[in-house]
């Protein structure tokens, strides 16, 4: 018997000057970073939502609310480690995750291997089970006008019996 589930996660953060930019737990040199209660890592937030959604465990805001002082300035990688642990305790294994980051600038092409390696390490995934693509906003909307970062993520999990 198999129990295979898919989840979708999205996240959108405004960008502000003088803030650090973290994507997948990797510092990305840029003059703008995410405005958020935690470190604002939109990639990790979307991955958490995709995994939690697939398991029927609500969303990242439910487990790590932005109204909690405990989560203020917290590294998003800590949220991800918590989510992975929740999945393990519920008997789920991550099959694969596919994400797209929408960001006008900076270009992520050269950082994608490092981000993929870090995300895979955090989730203890074999090579090839975490995929990342980067797109610009084509100078349209908040992403295209360099006002925001948006991430879309799909996750496939399987219950181990």
**How does residue 23 score in pLDDT terms, banded at 50, 70 and 90?**
very high
Per-residue confidence (pLDDT) for residue 2, from 0 to 100: 82
Per-residue confidence (pLDDT) for residue 161, from 0 to 100: 84
Q: Which domain holds residue 93?
A: 3-159
Residue 83 · residue 157 · CB < 8 Å:
no
Predicted TM-score (pTM) of this structure: 0.97
Q: What is the CATH number of the domain that holds 12?
A: 3.30.1330.50
pLDDT tens for each residue of 33-70: 999 999 999 999 999 999 999 999 999 999 999 999 99
Mean of pLDDT over the chain: 97
pLDDT tens for each residue of 89-102: 999 999 999 999 99
Count of structural domains, the chain: 1
Q: CA separation (Å) from 72 to 35, 38, 39, 66, 67? A: 12, 5, 8, 7, 8
Spatial separation of the C-alpha atoms in residues 131 and 100, rounded to whole Å: 8
Residue 69 · residue 108 · CB < 8 Å:
no
């Amino acid at each position: 018997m198999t129990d295979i589930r898919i989840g979708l996660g999205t996240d959108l953060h405004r960008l502000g000057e003088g803030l650090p930019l973290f994507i997948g737990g990797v510092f990305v040199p840029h003059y703008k970073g995410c405005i958020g209660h935690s470190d604002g890592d939109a990639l990790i937030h979307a991955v958490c939502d995709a995994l939690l959604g697939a398991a029927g465990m609500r969303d990242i805001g439910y487990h790590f609310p932005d109204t909690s002082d405990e989560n203020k300035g917290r590294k998003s990688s800590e949220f991800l480690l918590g989510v992975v642990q929740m999945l393990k305790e519920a008997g789920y294994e991550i099959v694969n995750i596919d994400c797209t980051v929408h960001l006008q600038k900076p270009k992520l092409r050269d950082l994608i291997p490092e981000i993929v390696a870090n995300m895979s390490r955090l989730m203890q995934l074999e090579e090839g089970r975490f995929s990342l693509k980067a797109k610009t906003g084509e100078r349209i909307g908040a992403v295209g006008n360099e006002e925001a970062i948006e991430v879309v993520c799909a996750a496939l999990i399987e219950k181990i019996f």
